[in-house]
Structure 1
């Protein structure tokens, strides 16, 4: 399981290299590369709580009223709500925190991706920890003083920057450690982002229950505790990062010959500032945008969609959604919550499964499967809904969500195959603007089409039919873009001199000056350390999966 340096020298470092510097984290011979994925998971499992923030909306919407919300008057607009201390925030206002998460995730990843390649993942991981955890602490103060602008600044903006930095911090590092398993390596880390809400949401619910009093809903205390936990866990992950020395490769592995594999792997390296002018970048950008738009559009509507399509049949009552009483509506909401939990499980598993499979199939063929299989499944949904076949309906969405997660996990390896590994983290950061675009496009299409269909008087159980066909059209566009992807032309790659200069700027050295002390003196990582590292991230993830399975069980019951 361990890997070795092809050079025989032990990396040593300048005495003046700071503890966060890239020179200080070059791995020594005998370092076990399987210690790096748990470090990445430690960060991604924390920032993945962004997906689970909706658990706070209902308690926050009655932060002042405690039992019932103190509703704002019609004269209190959005900007007044930023500063008011006399009424509670509506859930529609709170949702802006969620929007800012992903806007600033995309912006920060795009802006600071190049800086990441220069300074290394440890410094970026530490900054991500301070932004994400510190943002929650600042938000806790905002909840305590009932100042919504502080929550937007703390979690939305500062936290969103932490999201972006934390998300991209391990990408190029893992790809360089696992040139033989690029998809699997990035799949392991990005799986953690999908799994963060599995741990964070039930933890937040338990903490709010613990801290709730007659005068507090327990949210600010929960923010404070979770912010501190996230800072510690992410710092441990950041300090666990190591990078391989220049020229390192796994023992016994031979790089594939260009043109002789299904993976379309290049041996050149593209400078990040040039990707804006390369057609393949925009084709992959469209590929990710279309796949994620379709998936993210149904994630937000999965629960109401199931309830409106199947109505009382979910609890054995022969009645449509609009004919149910309050008790029955509560019962089917519980079933729909189980459905949403089931989808989250497939989202997580799909990230690892599809990314690992892409190492065998190649990235282009894997995305072809996403678009063709996904299109057929979306197309089948109106028919399975009309037939009242819950098994086919739910099965289709489970597979769709697995491919939604798989697209995120596979795309860093796709970029490395096309543009090389030297600046893949920075290029991935640029590409995440596709996520921000999809985060607007997908929900807008699904939500507005639903409202438009309802306005035409179409029954609730049929309002999603046209939407599914529109999503099929998106996947067809993605399929065409993916089909058009070809190897990058040689003219776009760095020359040997340019690559050497970039490596110098990025402190990418096989060994540093012998003037300083050796920072890593061991020559073989004990297996027990590897086991403990995986246990540290595996136990919380297993607990989150267990809690999610309990919720998913409501659907089957």
Structure 2
């Protein structure tokens, strides 16, 4: 019925990648922190802007999820382009190295811009690809991780924008680029026509499960124990990864210098660990964990991911001072952290229903905001106290607790208006 005039669904993937490349700007924050510390900022202040951005991101995403049914995904994407671009442009024009200004322009405004757009490609992608939810969600959000690597390298070693142009001009250029990429990608952010399904899916077992699945409203979801177990696991996993992002430059620099490297050598090695190994693995982890989860199941995939992450974080304090072990640790931590963004949207859809994922996932994603406060601020405070290793140890233990929590998540059924766990 819809085969002749419906949009090619892979355009939705292309649009999603363009959007997520720009939204990954928040992970590029670490490239600015050395210049800010040289300008007199404390480690806690550098992490405060990052944390504010994550909280604004998560809170705005809840509002955006509610608006999706009335505004539509394309309008939300355009709003994201305007707000995110404006935040960075204003930071360049009026921020510079001013702590309060950057908290407002990059933290609050930039974070809100990311929150407006983030849920859009996830919800759109799942509707176009009901047959490959894990893979397509991972592919759609991979740009978030790959984008971070590109923005870090452009500002740093490859483009040397900070060195040649300064922080303010770099912020301004990034703001213009973010606006353009998100606006272009947003053109393809539309849902498929009602009743549409990919060829061969309508008669498949997966399609029948899709048709029969439980679709809970947000208020119903919030009354289930499954919501809180998933929320807790994502909080701990996000806190660990975000703490690692914030410290992946600063902590190895100290550890490598203690091992005998000069400051310049340590900076180059730690920068490579963050911008190449961590960021590349972050992007690949989204695709690979998402694809694996289509076969392993979401719960088992999250259990493995958080368990491995916990063990790696506990070991990382013995790895940070060795160049090659640092690269290995950064790769595994980045790989597992990236998996969060493919697995938690899909476990939300599988547990509470695909049709409501645009409204329900933002509530799950609030855990990312909680983790965004706890992880980076913990790392910053312990860093100012000269105890980076304790931050990794605490977050490693938290991930192991998260693995135990996700193991208790069971399917949800709704019967006669009641929400019950089976």
Q: TM-score, normalised by structure 2?
A: 0.86
Q: Is the 8 A contact 2:257 2:266 kept in 1?
A: yes
CA distance in 2, matches of 1:294, 1:125: 29
Q: Is the 8 A contact 1:133 1:228 kept in 2?
A: yes
Is 404-413 or 123-132 further displaced after alignment? Answer: 404-413
1:228 aligns with 2:176: yes
Match of 1:299 among 245, 250, 269: 245
1:256 aligns with 2:194: no
1:105 aligns with 2:57: yes
Q: Is the 8 A contact 2:92 2:169 kept in 1?
A: yes
Give runs of aligned pairs for residues 10-159 of structure 1, distance below 5 A. 29-57=5-33, 93=45, 95-143=47-95, 149-159=100-110
> Any stretches of 5+ residues in structure 2 without a counterpart?
none
Q: Is the 8 A contact 1:287 1:481 kept in 2?
A: yes
Q: Deviations over 1:323-376 (max 9, x none)?
A: xxxxx2322222222222322221121111111111111101101211333333
Q: Is the 8 A contact 1:109 1:426 kept in 2?
A: no
Q: Give how far 1:29 is off.
A: 3.4
1:290 aligns with 2:214: no
1:407 aligns with 2:340: yes
3-state SS of 1:401 partner: helix
Q: Is the 8 A contact 1:125 1:166 kept in 2?
A: yes
Q: Is the 8 A contact 2:300 2:407 kept in 1?
A: no
3-state SS of 2:412 partner: coil
Match in the other structure for 1:442: 375
CA distance in 2, matches of 1:171, 1:359: 16
Q: Deviations over 1:411-461 (max 9, x none)?
A: 11111111111220121111111011111222344455566685xxxxxxx
Match of 2:407 among 454, 475, 483: 483
**Shift in alpha-carbon separation, 1:123–1:334, aligned structure 2, 3 A:** same
Q: Give how far 1:491 is off.
A: 3.6
CA distance in 2, matches of 1:487, 1:138: 46
**Shift in alpha-carbon separation, 1:300–1:494, aligned structure 2, 3 A:** same
Is 124-133 or 365-374 further displaced after alignment? Answer: 365-374
Q: Give how far 1:39 is off.
A: 0.3
Q: Give how far 1:494 is off.
A: 9.7
Match in the other structure for 1:171: 122
> Any stretches of 5+ residues in structure 1 without a counterpart?
1-7, 11-27, 63-68, 72-88, 316-327, 455-462, 496-557
Q: Give how far 1:153 is off.
A: 3.2
1:368 aligns with 2:317: no
1:270 aligns with 2:216: yes
CA distance in 1, matches of 2:52, 2:383: 24
3-state SS of 1:290 partner: helix
Alignment length (residue pairs): 415
**Shift in alpha-carbon separation, 1:220–1:469, aligned structure 2, 3 A:** closer
**Shift in alpha-carbon separation, 1:279–1:258, aligned structure 2, 3 A:** farther
3-state SS of 1:490 partner: strand
3-state SS of 2:187 partner: helix
CA distance in 1, matches of 2:254, 2:163: 34
